[in-house]
Amino acid sequence: MTLTVRLDAELEEQLDRYCRKRRQTKTEVLTKLLRDHIAATSGGDKTPYQIAREFGLIGAFASGRRDASANRKRYLRERLRAKHTR
């Protein structure tokens, strides 16, 4: 597929310098940037099971939490806050 992109003069010069420095074509650079961006922003590919597993909500028996099912909302909230704090 061919894609035409309009760049302002400054961005075009920056892209040219970047490509020359790394000895890559503009196509190679832009394709990699697009792939990386799409991969980074498409977190919706995970199943609910995978997300719960990452947050430690599955496998509670091994964690020693005897109240995991009763307090699941609290544990999820704590994990989300910890993940998004700076």
Q: What is the pLDDT of residue 22?
A: 93
Residue ranges of the chain whose pLDDT lies below 50: none
Q: How far is CA 9 from CA 12, 19, 78, in A?
A: 5, 15, 47
Per-residue pLDDT, 35? 87
CA distance 62 to 58: 9
Average pLDDT, the chain: 81
Q: What's the pLDDT score for residue 57?
A: 67
> pLDDT value at position 61?
58
Q: At what angle do helices 9-22 and 26-41 cross, to 10 degrees?
A: 100
Domain regions of the chain by residue span: 9-41, 46-84
Q: DSSP of 24-37, one letter per residue?
A: --HHHHHHHHHHHH
Say which residues have a Cβ less than 8 Å from residue 69's Cβ, sequence separation at least 6.
Answer: 60
The residue type of 31 is T
Copy the structure tokens of residue 51. 């997300």
pLDDT of residue 44: 64
What's this model's pTM, rounded to 2 decimal places?
A: 0.48
| pLDDT given at position 21 | 95
